[in-house]
Every structure is written in C-alpha cells, then in structure tokens.
C-alpha cells in the first residue's frame, strides 16, 4: 500500500466514523450524503503527510484534516446553490434533493462542525480562518466575474488562487503546525500547496480543451461550449484583442458555438502553449519548494508522490 | 450612565471600529450594512456583564462579545433568506438588496469572522460551537414546523430554546469563562440566560396579541393574522382540541381571519393565562439563578437591571 493509499484509508475511516456518529435529523442528513460521495480526499491526505513530514504523528492531525474536508464540502454545498448546479459527483446536489433552505442551513452547521474539529491551537485556528476567508473572497470574485466581459488572466489567477488553491495550502500548513514545523517551514509548505493547487486547477481547465476524451471520460471542450472563463480562454481572448474566432464564438449561444474552431484558435493564438508553460512552471516551482525544505528526502517522498499524481505523472 | 448604557457604548464602539476596518468589496459590504442597523446588542452587553460578574475585565471579553454579535447577525442574514423576509429593522434585508447568492456568501464569511473574534480558549470555543450548532438545530426545527399542523407547545419550547434562547446563554457563559468563572458558575449563568431568553421570546409573542399598540407601535395580532405558530396560539389550539375558533380561523386565508375573535378565543381557552403564568415563572427562575450565585450582590446589579429591562420592568 502506498503512503497516499495508507493516509487516504485513515481519512476515509475517520469520515465514515464521523458520518455514522451524526445525530438523526434533517440538519445532518445532507452532510453525511455529501461526505459519503466518493472523493480523492487530497486535502486531508496532504494534511496528514505534512504532519509526518515534520516529525509529527498523523493521528494528531486526523481531526483537523477532517475539519478541512468538512469545510471543503461546506463550500461545495453552498457553491452548488450559488451556481445552480444540479449534479455533483454524478449525484443530485444537496439543494436539488432537500431544497435551497436546507442546503443553506446544513452548510452553515457543517462550517461550525469543521471548527469543532480544528482544536484550540491558536496557530492552527488563525491559519484556518484566514484561508477560509480567502476561499469566500475567491467565490465572491468568481461570482463578480460572471457579469463582466473584461476579466484578464491576472485577475483570474488572483481568483482561482483564493477559491481553490489556498485550501490545499491551508491543509498542508495545518498539518505542518501540528507536526511541529517552524513558521518559515509552515510558509514554505504552504507555497508548495498553493502552487500545486494552482497548477492542478489550470491543468484541469487545460485538459477540458486538449485532453484525450478516452482518458477524461468527458466530451472535449465542455467548458468552451459553456463559455466558462478559464485561464486558457481568457489568454486566447487577450491575444485576439477583442476580434477573432474566440470573441465571435462567445457572442453566440452555447449550442451554436463551434468548439473545434475555438480549440484551433486557442492553438493559433498561442494560448495553449502559454497554458502548458505556466502549468509546467508552477509544477516545477512547487516541487522546488519541497526540495528546498531542510528535511530528510525520504520524509518528503509521500508528498512528492501526491504532487506527481496531481500532475498526472506517475511517481 | 447606567451599566447597561456603559457596556452598550463599548460594544457599539467596537462594532463601528470593526465595520470601519472591513476590506472593500461585495463580500464585506452586506456585513457592515447589517451590523450598523440600530440594535439593542443584548448578547454582547450580557457577555461583558458576565465577565465583570466573576471579577474579569470587560475589555478582555469585548472581542468574543463582538464574535457573538457577528454570529447573531450571520443567522439573521441567512434566516431572512430562508424566511423570504423583505425587511429587517425597517430596512431591506441583505438578500433583497444584494441578492440571495451574495447573502449566502457574505453570511458564510461572517461566520468565519465570528470565529476569528472568539480567541483560542478551548472552553470558550467549545461553548460557542456547541451553542452555535443548537441555533442551527432550532432553525431546522422551525422550518420543519412550517409544513406541519400538529406541533405541540412542548416541541415549540424545544425549538425556541435552541433557536433564540441559547445564544443569550452562550454570550453569558463565554463572558463568565473569560471572567474566571468555575464550571458550575458558568452553567448557572447559562441557565439564567436561557430562561431569560425563553421568557423574552414568549413575552414578545404574548405582546403581539395582548400588548398595547400605542406602546408596541405595531398592529395588534399581526402574528395571529399570519398564522405564526407561537406558544400562545399552540396552547390555544391544544385547549380547543381540534375544533374551535382558532382552528377555524387558521383554515381561512390570512386576510379573512378575524383577529379579534382569535384573541377572544386565546382568553376563553385559558391560553392567555397560561402564557402569562409561564412567562412569570421563567422570569422568576431566571432571577433565582442569579440570586443563588455566590457573588457579591453589587456585582449582580448590572445583570439584574438588564434582565428586568428585558422583562419590560424598570430596574
């Protein structure tokens, strides 16, 4: 069993135990439903690994790791309402199944229960709250972007850093604190997580346009058809300067968009190349943050393996 | 200046300072808007008084007191969405002014910011989280009641205890912990707050039917016309046993309800008398909890004055 698998099993066991111990009632059912949907548990696994990286016992970080996964699922529950998403991980979203009010309230209670798992270490609490607020700021930026047609790639990076990347940084920093890391080490592992998280999100967007449908299991260009503002699309639009195939396509209703033509435009504008270069550079920077840490190399191996798997590479 | 006024001024100053220091942006604007609406600040004032009651400095409790007021306003922001309320304290509710999504997200961030003010004392955090969860449970019960016609007075008390009374208990307990109270003293002041909070809610419902419109500034019987399930109405319905003026009135649309007839029925069924007796008994029990505390009487005077003002009596 790999280290990733070992930690994931511990996280799953803790999650299942937590779900089983929930009181009965309409407030708690949606939490168990969402937490039990199959997921990779990247953040809590990363928290346990960061704890061991600095010499701590993973068991000491399991509850805060669960807290971070609860926080993540709370954001999914509320984001799905805001985005009016009917499906999450192949199942009806909480607000589709129980109604919007139940999803608001159950999410609220889930955030309280996330805090209940974080313990009372002021460094852990301060780190968690600061990043939790950034996640809310990222979601606010994302919603503001929907009504705008002039979003640039810099702003997009700013948004996605907050909305998705920082929670991986948070998980790693919390694990590191519990593991006994110094403040500089905590920051370094946080930067590793943030860069890894950014690269992962950019790669995910990249694969939508350039991945192999046989591997991704999704139709190519779904984001493009939906007009979703990804870094890739924004870069192409910037390169076109307001006139071109991408701007034209976006002026049409989704079903009429020629996705193949849009993908060609992403190549001809250089957006594809720029996206690949950015991802590669972020991934390299992330690994360098890990390399530079003054910790024995064998202790870094699990996090390196987790990073490589998120990069779509075999460790 | 009375002790209530002195503490209220300190709370107001802290709230205004907090609002002024908020970052710009759509996430934070609704928080400042809601927090700046005129309010009595009963919970944070109670927290400061409980801190001084046990010999602590009110200044040491001001941030957790602010945290509790933030939590209270977070619940108002989300409850107003769930209840589809257009107006709060004479002003448009947050979701009416900024939209439902902004109100969900801003409330979420407000809950995180409430925790940021609570500090890292495990007793304070444990107390706050446990009560916060009870508030969510109370709201869940309240929503479940809407779809039912068989809610009894016992269930109603169970709901209202969680939804509104425990947050006053929470404020007092948090202040008491910071002030140096022993665990038994903490529990006692919590019971004082819970009983006081219950009495206050029941009195509020009672006044809707039997208060003097010249004093309340509201039309008599607004809750009755709306069919709002208060303890008073539920008690009357229980006494009628399924047939009678109240049950008949509830089967009609609100505008057709004869409020004067419903009020008469509350008197003839004995619901009015029962409600008055229950309120008086809870108020007396609350004051007895305070009396029994082994603390010099002069230190209790501010909380006694606060309690009497909530009971509509002059101290």
Cβ–Cβ below 8 Å for A78 and B105: yes
Q: Which positions in chain B touch A119 (Cβ < 8 Å)?
A: 122
Residue B132 has pLDDT above 70, yes or no: yes
pLDDT digits (tens, 9 = 90+) for B149-205: 889 999 999 999 999 999 999 999 999 999 999 999 999 999 999 999 999 999 999
Residues 77-106 of B with CB under 8 A from A: 78, 81-82, 101-102, 104-105
Q: Which residue has the tokens 């550079």?
A: A281
Q: Which residue has the tokens 């870069």?
A: A235
Instruction: Specify the 3-state DSSP secondary structure of A195.
Output: helix
Read off the pLDDT band of A260 (50, 70, 90): very high
CA distance B99 to chain A (A): 10
CA distance A41 to chain B (A): 23
Specify the pLDDT at position B96. Answer: 97
Cβ–Cβ below 8 Å for B139 and A105: yes
Q: Is A155 on the interface with B (CB under 8 A)?
A: no
Residue A273 has pLDDT above 80, yes or no: yes
Q: How far apart are the first and last CA of chain A?
A: 14
Torsion of CA B18, B23, B29, B30, to 10 degrees: -60
Q: Tell me the average pLDDT across A71-96.
A: 96
Average pLDDT, chain A: 95
Residue B315 has pLDDT above 60, yes or no: no
* DSSP assignment string, chain B: --HHHHHHHHHHHHHHHHHHTSPSSTTTHHHHHHHHS----HHHHHHHHHHHHTT--HHHHHHHHHHHHHHHHHHHHHHHHHTT--EETTEE-HHHHH-HHHHHHHHHHHHHHHHHHS-S-HHHHHHHHHHHHHHHHHHHHHHHHHT-S---HHHHHHHHIIIIIHHHHHHHHHHHHHHT--HHHHHHHHHHHHHHHHHHHHHHHHHHHHS-HHHH-S-TTHHHHHT---HHHHHHHHHHTT-SHHHHHHHS-GGG--HHHHHHHHHHTTHHHHHHHHHHHHHHHHHHHHHHSSS-HHHHHHHHHHHHHHTT---
Q: Distance between CA B102 and CA B106 in Å, rounded? A: 6
Q: Has residue A250 been placed in a domain? A: no
pLDDT digits (tens, 9 = 90+) for B238-295: 999 988 999 999 998 888 899 999 999 999 999 999 999 999 999 999 999 999 999 9
Q: Has residue A139 been placed in a domain? A: yes
CB atoms within 10 A of CB A126: 13
Q: Distance between CA A96 and CA A99 in Å, rounded? A: 6
Q: Has residue A233 been placed in a domain? A: no
B136 closest CB neighbour out of A108, A125, A136:
A108
Specify the pLDDT at position A315. Answer: 45
Residue A302 has which token pair?
A: 């699990």
CATH number at residue B305: 1.10.600.10
Read off the pLDDT band of B218 (50, 70, 90): confident
Q: Has residue A151 been placed in a domain? A: yes
B182 in Cβ contact with B191 (< 8 Å): no
Q: Which positions in chain A touch B137 (Cβ < 8 Å)?
A: 25, 27, 109
Cβ–Cβ below 8 Å for B122 and A125: no
Give the residue numbers spanning the domain of A297. Answer: 3-204+270-310
Residue A34 has pLDDT above 80, yes or no: yes
Q: Has residue A67 been placed in a domain? A: yes
A120 closest CB neighbour out of B120, B137, B143:
B120
Q: Which positions in chain A touch B109 (Cβ < 8 Å)?
A: 133, 136-137
Q: Has residue A142 been placed in a domain? A: yes
* Percent with pLDDT over 70 in chain B: 99
Cβ–Cβ below 8 Å for B140 and A78: no
pLDDT digits (tens, 9 = 90+) for B119-130: 999 999 999 999
Domain count, chain B: 1
Q: Is A281 on the interface with B (CB under 8 A)?
A: no
Phi-psi region of B252 (alpha: psi -120 to 50; beta: other; left: phi over 0): beta
Residue B82 has pLDDT above 70, yes or no: yes
B234 in Cβ contact with B158 (< 8 Å): no
Testing the interface with B: which of A73, A115, A119, A122 to mutate, by most B Cβ within 10 A? A115
Q: Which residue has the tokens 């008197």?
A: B267
pLDDT digits (tens, 9 = 90+) for A43-54: 999 999 999 999
CA distance A67 to chain B (A): 13
Residues 111-150 of A with CB under 8 A from B: 111-113, 115-116, 119-122, 125, 129, 132-133, 136-137, 139-140, 143-144
Q: Has residue A191 been placed in a domain? A: yes
Residue A56 has pLDDT above 80, yes or no: yes
Q: Has residue B315 been placed in a domain? A: no
Stated pTM of the model? 0.96
A134 in Cβ contact with A166 (< 8 Å): yes
Q: Which positions in chain B touch A136 (Cβ < 8 Å)?
A: 27, 105, 108-109, 112
Residues 25-64 of A with CB under 8 A from B: 25-27
Specify the pLDDT at position B314. Answer: 56
Instruction: Specify the 3-state DSSP secondary structure of A246.
Output: helix
What's the alpha-carbon Rg for chain A, to the nearest Å?
20
Residue A23 has which token pair?
A: 């009181």
Instruction: Specify the 3-state DSSP secondary structure of A230.
Output: coil
Across the A:B interface, residue pairs with CB atoms under 8 Å apart total 96
pLDDT digits (tens, 9 = 90+) for A149-196: 889 999 999 999 999 999 999 999 999 999 999 999 999 999 999 999
Overall size of chain B counted in residues:
315
Cβ–Cβ below 8 Å for A125 and B139: no
Instruction: Specify the 3-state DSSP secondary structure of A113.
Output: helix
């Amino acid at each position: 069993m790999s280290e990733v698998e070992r930690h994931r099993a511990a996280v799953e066991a803790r999650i299942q135990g937590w779900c089983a111990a929930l009181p009965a009632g309409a407030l708690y059912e949606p939490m168990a439903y969402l937490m039990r949907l199959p997921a990779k548990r990247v953040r809590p696994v990363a928290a346990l690994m960061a704890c061991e990286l600095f010499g701590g016992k993973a068991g000491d970080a399991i509850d805060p790791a669960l807290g971070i996964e609860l926080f993540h699922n709370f954001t999914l529950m509320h984001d799905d309402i805001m985005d009016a998403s009917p499906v999450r991980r192949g199942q009806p979203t909480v607000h589709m199944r129980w109604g919007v009010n139940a999803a608001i309230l159950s999410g609220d209670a889930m955030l309280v229960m996330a805090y209940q798992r974080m313990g009372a270490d002021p460094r852990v609490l301060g780190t968690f709250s600061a990043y939790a607020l950034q996640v809310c700021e990222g979601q606010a930026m994302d919603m503001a972007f929907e009504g705008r047609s002039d979003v640039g790639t810099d702003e997009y990076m700013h948004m996605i850093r907050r909305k998705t990347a920082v929670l991986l940084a948070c998980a790693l920093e919390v694990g590191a604190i519990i593991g006994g890391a110094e403040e500089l080490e905590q920051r370094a592992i946080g930067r590793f997580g943030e860069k890894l998280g950014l690269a992962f999100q950019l790669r995910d967007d990249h694969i939508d346009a350039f991945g192999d449908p046989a591997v991704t299991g999704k139709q190519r260009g779904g984001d493009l058809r939906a007009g979703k503002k990804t870094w890739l699309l924004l870069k192409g639009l910037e390169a076109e300067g307001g006139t071109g195939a991408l701007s034209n396509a976006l002026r049409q209703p989704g079903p009429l968009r020629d996705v193949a033509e849009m993908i060609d435009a992403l190549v001809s504008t250089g957006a594809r190349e720029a996206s690949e270069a950015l991802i590669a550079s972020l991934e390299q920077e992330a690994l360098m943050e890990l390399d530079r840490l003054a910790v024995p190399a064998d202790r870094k191996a699990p996090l390196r393996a987790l990073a490589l798997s998120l990069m779509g590479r075999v460790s």
